[in-house]
A and B are shown apart, each in its own frame.
Chain A
Amino acid sequence: MGEKMLMKGNEAIAEAAIRAGCRFYFGYPITPQSEISHYMARKMPEVNGTFIQAESEVAAINMVYGAASAGARVLTTSSSPGISLKQEGLSYIAGAELPAVIVNIVRSGPGLGGILPAQGDYFQAVKGGGHGDYKMVVLAPASVQEAYELTVEAFNIADRYRIASMIMGDGTLGQMMEVVEFRDEEDNKVYEKPWAATGTKLLRDHNVITSIYIDPVTLEKHNLNLQAKYKKISENETRVEVYNCDDADIIVAAYGTVARIVKNVIKTAEKEGIKVGLIRPVSLWPFPEKAFQKYADVPKAFLTVEMSAGQMVEDVRLSLNGRNEVHFYGRMGGMIPAQSEILDKIREILREAK
């Protein structure tokens, strides 16, 4: 490993993108992710890259669509309300099978909501958001170091499968500083893009980037191809951290910074003789179903903790398919679940389970 730096999560994501070979960034200002734009505005000129402050989120995602069509590694970043505006473009990117990376530093909603951290965009990210049957790869880092590593990986996944990858962190991850250690050199695989719109040079038939298929037979076939691709991604790109789960009295499911809070809870609970395990989905889609299935019968119960009204908990339930109790504890509006609250909930569940 190489250089060590103290960086905000937002800055680490921006630096990671540049290290991953991204030279095109299109964005629109919104708190709490504006540091990414600031970083890109300063750094892109140094690497002969392009930074455009677009007129809107809608324009930004369509610039991404254009740059990806031309074969470039490209990034846009935003926060919840801005990501809502990008949903049209994301559906088109999925339909046209373009590689792109999108960052959502999630704030609290609905509507204009607030600027403090939340995880209320889980459904939007993993279940669609835009129209039609499509998926994005959604990666949820829990530390600044992981934000860097997953951002680089997001570009590779995007190119490998011609799909949009989203980095989803909450405002805490974007704003906090931690030590990040950069590799001296990234293992940036070069993916040939013979499908890209770069000009025929009169040497080949024209390339067409499109998501429209008026003929239903053709469109269904296109959809079946997409689904086959998503299945392959599910098999190859699922990421999860399983911590302390063997013989656990209770297993907590949490992602992002909430998982960090749970790790503190695990230590405190241990002092009381309660063994708490953690399953932390790193990829929210594809969801690590198998990890939950493996430990389905181990604990007395499962508990999902989120900064939402209960979104990921549905996927935990689907994965366990009735094999164990799944409880939920959540805070909303920018409120962060405190360690003591989570521990109280764990005690309550275990009391009732006895």
Chain B
Amino acid sequence: MVLQEIIIAGFGGQGILSAGRLLAYAGMLGNMNVSWLPSYGPEMRGGTANCNVIITDGQVGSPILNSSTSLIVMNTPSLAKFESFVEPGGIIVIDSSLVDRKCTRNDIKVFEIPATRIASEMGNQVFANIILLGKLVAETNIISKENFELALKKTLPPRKHHLIPEEMKAFELGMNYN
């Protein structure tokens, strides 16, 4: 059975929730069962944000994750909070331009990518989440690149469609990052 339970965590405004939504949408396009659950709070911007995404070819059980198969973190507090959630053998993708310490686990695969710096060099810092997603997808094969692009088309409003080539570039950068 294919099953990925993914936690994405960071600050509000980093595209944490939208990254999770894109992943879930692409999963749906791949005929998988999916769920996406945001942490929701009174703060709209700048607070901590995280979401739980489940992609599986079986039934989605609880949408609320108490453990996960993979984790993307975009700030230090989120690493502290969620690194223990990852099951042995799972993976963590860390934005090393924003997280100032190392992961303490040695029973999981850890990938450090300076995603925010790379995105800034590309000219758009907001693509950092997409770079990290690219790495997660490359390591898990949970969705296809084609479905990710289709998910972008389906979920972005037409006035933002001109950004899609840039986003795909960021996604591929993440996929191929070593």
Instruction: Name A residues whose Cβ lies closer than 8 Å to a Cβ of B.
Output: 4, 6, 31-32, 115-116, 171-172, 175-179, 257, 260-261, 263-264, 267, 336, 338-340
Contacts and interface: CB of A to CB of B under 8 A. Distances in A.
A260 B24 contact: no
B60 A178 contact: yes
Contact of A172 (B41, B42, B60, B64): B64
Interface of B: 21, 24-25, 28, 33-38, 40-42, 60-64, 66
A175 B41 CA distance: 11
Contacts of B41: 115
Contact of B21 (A31, A32, A177, A339): A177
Given A6-B25, A6-B34, A179-B28, 12 more contacts: A4-B28, A115-B42, A172-B37, A172-B64, A177-B34, A177-B35, A177-B36, A178-B33, A257-B62, A338-B66, A339-B62, A339-B66
Contacts of A338: 66
Contacts of A267: 61
A339 B62 CA distance: 9
Contacts of B37: 172, 175-177
Contact of A261 (B21, B35, B40, B64): B64
A172 B62 CA distance: 11
Contacts of B40: 31-32, 115-116, 171, 175
Contacts, number: 61
Contact of A257 (B21, B42, B64): B64
Given A6-B36, A176-B37, A31 B42 contact: yes
Contact of B62 (A6, A179, A260): A260
A-B pairs with the 5 shortest C-beta distances?
A177-B36, A264-B61, A176-B37, A261-B62, A260-B62
Nearest to A4: B28
Nearest to B66: A338
A260 B66 contact: no
Given A115-B41, A171-B40, A178 B63 contact: yes
Given A115-B42, A177-B35, A336 B24 contact: no
A41 B66 CA distance: 36
B144 to A, nearest CB: 16
Contacts of A177: 21, 24, 34-37
Nearest to B34: A179
Contacts of B28: 4, 6, 179
Q: Which of A171, A178, A260, A267 is packed against the most chain B CB atoms within 10 Å?
A: A178
A257 B40 CA distance: 16
B35 A176 contact: yes
A257 B36 CA distance: 13
B136 to A, nearest CB: 18
A261 B36 CA distance: 15
Contacts of B60: 178
14 contacts: A6-B34, A115-B40, A115-B42, A171-B40, A172-B63, A175-B40, A176-B36, A176-B37, A178-B36, A260-B61, A260-B64, A264-B61, A267-B61, A336-B64
Nearest to B33: A179
Contact of B61 (A116, A263, A340): A263
A263 B64 CA distance: 12
A338 B62 CA distance: 10
A200 to B, nearest CB: 49
Nearest to A337: B64
A36 B25 CA distance: 21
B63 A340 contact: no
A263 B62 contact: yes
B65 to A, nearest CB: 10
Contacts of A175: 37-38, 40
Nearest to B155: A6
A145 to B, nearest CB: 10
Contacts of A176: 35-38, 63
